Structure 1
Amino acid sequence: MKLKVFIGLSFLCCISMLNAQDVNFNIDQKLWQEDFQFLKKKIEKTVPAYQIPENKKAFDEVYEIIRDSDVGNQKEEIVYGLQRLLNTLNDEGCNVPLFQKGVALKLSPIKTYWFNDGLFVLDATESNKDIIGQQIVKINDAPVEEVFETLKPLINADNDYYKKHLFQAYGLMPSVLKLMGFGNNDNEVSLQFASGKTKQIISSSINDYAQLSRGLPNDELFSFTNTSHENENYWFEFLPNSKTLFVQLQRIVNNENGESFSDFVSQIETLIKRKKADKIILDVRYGGGGNGFKLKKFTDLLRDAKAINQNGNLFVLTSRTTRGTLLELVSILKLNTKAVIVGEPTAEGVNTVGDIRYATLPNSGIIVSLTHTLWSTSWEKDTSTFLQPDILVKYYYSDKASNQDSWLDAVRSYKVKISRVSIPDDLQEGLIGTYKIEGRKVTIEDRNGRLFLTMNRKMKSFFEIHTELYFQSDGVLATDIDGVEIKYNKNSSGVLKLQYIQWQHLNLKID
């Protein structure tokens, strides 16, 4: 059996500098089997997702087939076969980087974006400039949706939102399309547009693709002042004629030039204390890497700043590519502040597996990316694969063409919610105390007549809670976290007892 049927996709990554040896696809069957065994042992020891029973079962089943396959020496079949094996782990960080030295698969030198009204070309190399602004309706004579649906089970991502993002590149790779039965050409892709125009796109290296830009709203460029923030991991500017601070984070690592991230947070703190900033719009739509432990100072600031931590004064902008450390930040703020999340569902769920280690297969020299640490921002039982925004944004090509930022439009039109109902005095005394949920200690405490549910984080976890409680109806307490409520009852003697916390789709018993 050939590996051809076992194919997949990996996260766009170029790590040619990491090669410890040249990649060699011309090795015999025995050496390939040694490579497969090496990879399996690495995954067993390293990857948390392998410990999930259904993932382990799927991985082991595909491994058995690949181990007994006639491997051959076809680069694409081998790479995609390994990638398909890693895809069984349902962890986007486990992949074969397709653009590493010695593999270097080609892709179409155009950049597209999947808007709510279709897939459009936003940038292209010089020979393809004539198709910028065109909507792609067919790829190699197949409708775009059909190609996506066929590739979707093989695209390495936590959810369909991020799969659509990855498809923008990998759905236009000739080798992927050929192996999936869409076309017979290794070097070009035929695109048909809504205008009726058809064009053959010659594939090229990752270098040509990397020079292109989608030019998405306020991505490293503050549109109000036309100020460039290219290559800055974090920056802020005021919206014109206001005290609204627009803060963009792309990576939580210190900028190469200028202030550290800690000093950056201190500057924001000074602006708040001096009453120069009374509203913050936090943009985490782009990027995602960095050190999550650097977030604590920032999240505590936003939680404790009374002027900011009010409904309508703190907004967080998310997209289908919000992931990694930025996803952790969004989740922390959702559980600890009154932030309003505006945008698209995120690329990952609230319990993410991160921190990459690269393993080089000893005989072939192929580099494989593996994750090794679980970072929690929710309960262990929370298996959600994305974080749902409070306000869903739809982004159309016409918005892009007119330079509209649909996320900021949604912020501008936001109406502050009517004040919640305070908990009656006769209930408060019966609620105050320390409890356990899923083995974690939580506290309900009185702060100037208002009740808060709090839980401190543990080691190697960013999961903490600090949310106000409100009276919703008899037997139900609301929180600032959408979809999270506490259920209670009173016995015949009037003694109040907490029963469980409804956490989105989970009902967690309170002891």
Structure 2
Amino acid sequence: MFSGFNINFTSAKSLKLLDGDEATNFKSYSTAKTDTLPFPPEQFYHRATPRSERLTIGQDVPDTMSVEQWQADLDTLASLIRQRIPYYEAATNEDELSRRVDSLKQLVPDQTRDQRILSIMELANLPALGTGHTRVRSTQRALGWRAVPLFPYRFADGVYIMSAINPEWIGSKILAINKTPIDEVYKALSKYVSSDNRWDMWRDVEEYSIQFRWANHLKALGIIDDIKEVPIQIQTPEGERKQIRVQTLMPNSAEYISFATRSPTRPRVSEDLQWSPGAEPQRNTEPNYKLSYRDSTDILYLDLNIIVHESEDWTLNHLADSLRHIADHNPINKMVIDLRTNGGGNSSDAEPLIQLFASHPKFNQRGKLYTLISPEATSAGGIFAMQMERRTRTIFAGENSSFNPNIWGETVPARLPNSKIVVLLSHTMHQEGMPDTPRTYLEPDIKVPMTSGQHFNNLDLTMKAVKEHKPRPRYTIKLDVEEKEKYTGTYQISPVHRATITEASGQLHLQVDDGAEEPFIDTALYPLSTHQLATDITDVYIDRRLGNAHLDLIWKDTTYVMNPLNGDFELPSELIRAGKLDEAEKRLKSAIASGMKLGG
């Protein structure tokens, strides 16, 4: 996460206070009574990072460590990366990993304790896209860092304070930390943030795992001088520019817990504002999902905030049944799935919903099915969005995603032996995009940048755009029987992907299988010419070039050759089920040798 230190922060342009700016101190923090808190302060770390704390129960965190002990922890982390992360050489090749370890170990003798912690974070920040789940969380007892009691959010028009120990600061735009412009602060911290792509990097700079509200790493980078007080330059909603000085707190103190869990310092989000991604740093205590249907517009709206079953008695299967019942008995103008505040969950739990949206005739129509995304939609929420792209006719609206189509997910914690710092290591590869796709994010079809004004004025311009949206007409031609036969058949895309083009009732259809129970891609095909078929997926086509026996699958900006198959082509999972283990092993090794990273 963090790159080398020679710590004077010289890359940022200094931002001087303007004449008339006011240095505002807010030092009289109210002393919180522990008997009125939602939980005792001593439980903070256990509640914030329970898996880390379980590994450090009974472990004394050392106040001081030798240079050799810190260097040994770096070696241990490198070994864990090699042992635990599948395709680690794709995440960080061996030469690069060894070079990084040696470089970081050389820095240790001249570093402070916090700078040494940042070196561990840097090593855990793997360079490949899609590796954001491997990380060191700052909210753990082994670090013991001081927190800046405010929560920011980066809108399209800047970074704003959403919650703060002094409620008067909420809604102000952050211009700089000390004299370092806020964009330079983000840039400095982003070197050390484990992320899936650029938008996830900005999001994780703010998130609890590393965000600039931790004073220790701001001092370690030379951005502030004193970890007990952080000078922040702001512009108030009225346009006044001034400097505030924010006293830092230990996160396991009564004062900090009171700030983080109560109004007005962390305002509760009203129900009609819970759609906003900017509400996440506030107290957005929305349920797992909300479902609404409006007779006046015939819009069915699902706000899906996390992908988990509500309880054993009410699962996502029951939610799918409810959606089906509404659609069966009411007119549906548009079906909107809102993932903008979806932070993850269990991706396998979502299959009943995906199946419903892919199969119900009132949902799976072009111009009726919409999925809303933002940088806050990530992890299992991102996997859900990718499956919607591959298997339905959905139209995406909102902002670029913070998830990578192919990611390393699911983590196992590991404790470093000397510092007791816990690192989360990904152990599963999720192939939700095409093999080795160069795509790094999901781009919405309807782009609506999220500005601060939309949040603070409760203007959901993304929903407004969806309500008004009418898809452009698709001009197709009619193929004769002979032309259709040039497309129909079975094709091999990769050692583990089989494509089938069929015709039914005059409609061509593409299905790509990878051995899972459900198809990897499921889409109708629409002839644009005798040589090109469109799909239900934006910028995805089937091309047939004169003189070629194969077809080309044009996926965004990448071409995949579809080689025709004359006989049966069994996928590795089918070979395994048939007991043909040697043949399955050979096929899987062929896939890995070709550079593919097989999902778990």
Q: Residues 49-105 of structure 1, C-alpha deviation per residue, up to 9 Å, x if partnerless?
A: 522175443322111233455458944122211001111344221111111123232
- With over 3 angstroms needed to count, the CA separation of the structure-2 counterparts of 1:262 and 1:449, relative to structure 1, is same
- Residue 122 of structure 1 aligns to a residue whose secondary structure is strand
Structure 1 residue 216: deviation in Å? Answer: 9.2
- Is the CA contact (8 Å cut-off) linking 1:350 and 1:385 kept in structure 2? yes
Larger mean CA deviation between 31-40 and 375-384 belongs to 31-40
* Structure 2 Cα separation of the partners of residues 333 and 3 of structure 1: 37
Q: Which residue in the other structure is 1:364 paired with?
A: 419
- Is the CA contact (8 Å cut-off) linking 2:396 and 2:445 kept in structure 1? yes
Whether 2:482 is the aligned partner of 1:442: answer no
Q: Residues 155-178 of structure 1, C-alpha deviation per residue, up to 9 Å, x if partnerless?
A: 221222122222335234322222
Structure 1 residue 231: deviation in Å? Answer: 5.3
- Is the CA contact (8 Å cut-off) linking 2:509 and 2:525 kept in structure 1? yes
- Is the CA contact (8 Å cut-off) linking 2:316 and 2:353 kept in structure 1? no
In the alignment, residue 500 of structure 2 is paired with which amino acid?
T
- Is the CA contact (8 Å cut-off) linking 1:470 and 1:478 kept in structure 2? yes
Q: Residues 91-122 of structure 1, C-alpha deviation per residue, up to 9 Å, x if partnerless?
A: 22111111112323223212222222211222
Whether 2:197 is the aligned partner of 1:142: answer no
Which aligned pairs between 1:4-19 and structure 2 lie closer than 5 A? 5=5, 14-15=49-50, 17-18=53-54, 19=56
Larger mean CA deviation between 339-348 and 202-211 belongs to 202-211
Structure 1 residue 277: deviation in Å? Answer: 4.6
* Structure 2 Cα separation of the partners of residues 22 and 299 of structure 1: 47
- Is the CA contact (8 Å cut-off) linking 1:14 and 1:98 kept in structure 2? no
Q: Which residue in the other structure is 2:554 paired with?
A: 502
- Is the CA contact (8 Å cut-off) linking 2:268 and 2:285 kept in structure 1? no
Larger Rg: 2
Q: Which residue in the other structure is 1:123 paired with?
A: 163
Structure 1 residue 376: deviation in Å? Answer: 0.9
What is the root-mean-square deviation in Å for CA atoms of aligned residues? Answer: 2.9
Give the alignment partner of residue 532 of structure 2, picking from 456, 463, 476: 476
Give the alignment partner of residue 187 of structure 1, picking from 220, 224, 228: 228
Q: Residues 343-397 of structure 1, C-alpha deviation per residue, up to 9 Å, x if partnerless?
A: 1111111111110100011233211111110011122221322111111111222
Whether 2:114 is the aligned partner of 1:79: answer no
Give the alignment partner of residue 484 of structure 2, picking from 414, 428, 432: 428
Q: Which residue in the other structure is 1:104 paired with?
A: 144
- With over 3 angstroms needed to count, the CA separation of the structure-2 counterparts of 1:360 and 1:154, relative to structure 1, is closer
Q: Which residue in the other structure is 1:171 paired with?
A: 212
In the alignment, residue 494 of structure 2 is paired with which amino acid?
E
Structure 1 residue 305: deviation in Å? Answer: 0.6
In the alignment, residue 393 of structure 1 is paired with which amino acid?
V
Q: Which residue in the other structure is 1:262 paired with?
A: 317
- Residue 135 of structure 2 aligns to a residue whose secondary structure is coil
* Structure 2 Cα separation of the partners of residues 216 and 97 of structure 1: 30
Q: Which residue in the other structure is 2:583 paired with?
A: none
Whether 2:236 is the aligned partner of 1:201: answer no
Unaligned ranges ≥5, structure 1? 223-227
Which aligned pairs between 1:394-405 and structure 2 lie closer than 5 A? 394-405=449-460
- Residue 435 of structure 1 aligns to a residue whose secondary structure is strand
Q: Residues 454-502 of structure 1, C-alpha deviation per residue, up to 9 Å, x if partnerless?
A: 012435x9871011111223422211111211111344xxxx8443111
After TM superposition, the score normalised by the length of structure 2 is 0.76
After TM superposition, the score normalised by the length of structure 1 is 0.88
After the TM superposition, list the runs of 4 or more consecutive aligned residues in structure 1 that deviate by more than 6 angstroms. Answer: none
Q: Which residue in the other structure is 1:411 paired with?
A: 466
* Structure 1 Cα separation of the partners of residues 324 and 370 of structure 2: 17
Structure 1 residue 146: deviation in Å? Answer: 2.3
- Is the CA contact (8 Å cut-off) linking 1:328 and 1:462 kept in structure 2? no
Q: Which residue in the other structure is 1:225 paired with?
A: none
Q: Residues 244-276 of structure 1, C-alpha deviation per residue, up to 9 Å, x if partnerless?
A: 221122222222486112212222122222336
* Structure 2 Cα separation of the partners of residues 390 and 412 of structure 1: 14
Give the alignment partner of residue 453 of structure 1, picking from 510, 515, 532: 510
- Is the CA contact (8 Å cut-off) linking 2:70 and 2:116 kept in structure 1? no
Which aligned pairs between 1:40-439 and structure 2 lie closer than 5 A? 40-48=78-86, 50-52=88-90, 54-70=92-108, 74-90=112-128, 91-125=131-165, 128-168=166-206, 170-194=211-235, 195-206=240-251, 207-208=256-257, 210-211=260-261, 212=266, 215=269, 220=274, 230=285, 232-239=287-294, 241-256=296-311, 259-275=314-330, 277=332, 279-426=334-481, 427-439=483-495
* Structure 2 Cα separation of the partners of residues 106 and 130 of structure 1: 22
Q: Residues 98-156 of structure 1, C-alpha deviation per residue, up to 9 Å, x if partnerless?
A: 1112323223212222222211222222xx21122211222211222222233333322
* Structure 2 Cα separation of the partners of residues 6 and 258 of structure 1: 57
Larger mean CA deviation between 467-476 and 273-282 belongs to 273-282
- With over 3 angstroms needed to count, the CA separation of the structure-2 counterparts of 1:279 and 1:464, relative to structure 1, is same
